[in-house]
């Protein structure tokens, strides 16, 4: 079970053989690591499935290995060009998942990554990698700069401002399987995941190709690909492959004339609520006290989205899927017309 999609295991992966599973995408959404929020965004699940399938198929055409097998419609495994209506189930190959062991160290929560040796294969790499082409309002980079991150750590020679475009992509990396994701340096990431120098170079090269594909596709729909996250696994031969999903409005931050075309709209809505302040306080308290379950320290729960805003977000998701993929499977007006209501 996940906060936005559920995993069905058809065949478990083993040491030397990938398994088979299915992602069942739902209309649930999550912000600020909270997990399932109190309401649903209509058709969001089908949109994520369609966008993820589209980009997986384009990556496979370019020779980039992924865990994608196809989407399910009428009980059959098919490709995007065989669909007549949107699908919400994707079939994938599965690798093993090893969780770092949590423990307390000097009163704080720490993690043991010893299981991730250079000899391990057929597993999920415990990192989330982020490419950044721009720094729009809401980017976590600005919070990190306020907390001590230096512009040169991002390859910049000056303090950036919201809305800045980067001359070349910046690749950030964070942990993936801890209670709360945290940014780490590439040196730390390589050590945690047991990666060789060559594997890091190969992953960054694949990431660059993914970024270029999404940027080119987004531009055809009038969108700017500001940033996005990508996850990787190793196959049984310890060759990297792209896993989870890529190129969706949950994984990427797209903008249209400065307007967010992603779940960032929901994030910005909740940032104005008292619940968000409680979330930030609870996370800080949990970090100081070494408590794993930070949500238990949160004094409130999130309210539902404004109904009109929820409707606009739903329409935005569907229109973006139509125009990014070129498969017009959703009955909705054009994206530009929908976004005019947010301007």
SS3 state of residue 124 = strand
DSSP state of 306: P
Whole-angstrom distance, CA of residue 56 vs CA of residue 51: 9
What is the structure's pLDDT at 163?
Answer: 86
What's the pLDDT tens digit per position in 70-87? Answer: 999 999 999 999 999 999
CATH code of 309's domain: 3.30.470.20
Among 90, 86, 80, residue whose Cα is nearest residue 42: 86
Whole-angstrom distance, CA of residue 329 vs CA of residue 332: 9
DSSP state of 271: H
Whole-angstrom distance, CA of residue 309 vs CA of residue 306: 5
DSSP 22-89: EEEE-S----TT--S-SS--TTHHHHHHHHHHHHHHHHHHTT--BSEEEEEETTEEE-GGG-SS---E
Expressed in angstroms, the distance from the first to the final Cα of the chain is 36
Sorted by sequence, the CB contacts under 8 Å of residue 305 that are 6+ apart come out as: 37, 39, 266, 269, 313
Sorted by sequence, the CB contacts under 8 Å of residue 128 that are 6+ apart come out as: 173, 174, 175, 176, 181, 229, 230, 231
- Contact yes or no for 225/305 (Cβ under 8 A): no
What's the pLDDT tens digit per position in 170-195? Answer: 999 999 999 888 999 999 999 999 99
What is the structure's pLDDT at 104?
Answer: 81
What is the structure's pLDDT at 1?
Answer: 53
Among 6, 53, 3, residue whose Cα is nearest residue 28: 3
Any idea what the Cα angle at residue 183 is, between residues 224 and 229, rounded to 5°? 30
What is the structure's pLDDT at 309?
Answer: 93
- Contact yes or no for 26/135 (Cβ under 8 A): no
| Average pLDDT over the chain, rounded to an integer | 93
Helix (H) or strand (E) holding 233: strand 224-234
Domain containing residue 176: 5-340
Whole-angstrom distance, CA of residue 318 vs CA of residue 121: 38
β-strands 5-11, 101-105 pairing: unpaired
Could you say which residues of the chain have pLDDT below 50?
Answer: none
Helix (H), strand (E) counts: the chain: 8, 14
What is the structure's pLDDT at 2?
Answer: 62
Total domains in the chain come to 1
- Contact yes or no for 179/109 (Cβ under 8 A): yes
Whole-angstrom distance, CA of residue 334 vs CA of residue 323: 8
What is the structure's pLDDT at 343?
Answer: 65
Among 247, 235, 179, 182, residue whose Cα is nearest residue 211: 247
């Amino acid at each position: 079970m996940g906060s936005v999609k559920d995993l069905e295991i058809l065949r478990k992966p083993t040491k030397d053989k990938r398994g088979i599973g299915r992602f069942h995408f739902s209309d649930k959404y999550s912000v600020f690591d909270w997990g399932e929020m109190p309401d649903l965004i209509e058709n969001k699940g089908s949109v994520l499935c369609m966008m993820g399938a589209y980009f997986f198929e384009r990556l496979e055409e370019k020779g980039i290995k992924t865990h994608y097998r196809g989407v399910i419609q009428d009980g059959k495994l098919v490709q995007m060009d065989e669909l007549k209506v949107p699908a919400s189930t994707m079939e994938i190959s599965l690798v093993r998942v090893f969780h770092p062991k949590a423990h307390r160290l000097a009163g704080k929560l720490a993690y043991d990554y010893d299981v991730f040796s250079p000899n391990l294969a057929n597993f999920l790499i415990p990192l989330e990698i982020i490419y950044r082409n721009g720094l729009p309002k809401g980017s976590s980079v600005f919070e990190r700069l306020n907390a001590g991150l230096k512009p040169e750590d991002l390859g910049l020679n000056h303090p950036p401002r919201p809305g800045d475009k980067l001359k070349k992509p910046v690749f950030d990396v964070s942990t993936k399987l801890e209670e709360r994701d945290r940014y780490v340096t590439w040196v730390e990431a390589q050590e945690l995941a047991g990666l060789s120098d060559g594997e890091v170079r190969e992953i960054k090269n694949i990431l660059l190709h993914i970024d270029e594909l999404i940027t080119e596709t987004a531009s055809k729909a009038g969108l700017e690909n500001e940033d996005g996250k990508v996850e990787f696994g190793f196959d049984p031969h310890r060759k990297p492959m792209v896993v989870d999903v890529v190129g969706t409005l949950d994984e990427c931050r797209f903008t249209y004339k400065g307007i967010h075309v992603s779940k960032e709209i929901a994030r910005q809505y909740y940032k104005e609520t008292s619940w968000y302040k409680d979330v930030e306080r609870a996370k800080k308290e949990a970090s100081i006290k070494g408590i794993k379950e930070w949500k238990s320290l949160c004094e409130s729960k999130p309210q539902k989205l404004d109904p009109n805003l929820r409707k606009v977000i739903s329409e935005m998701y569907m229109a973006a899927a139509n125009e990014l993929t070129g498969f017009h499977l959703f009955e909705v007006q054009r994206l530009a017309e929908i976004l005019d209501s947010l301007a």
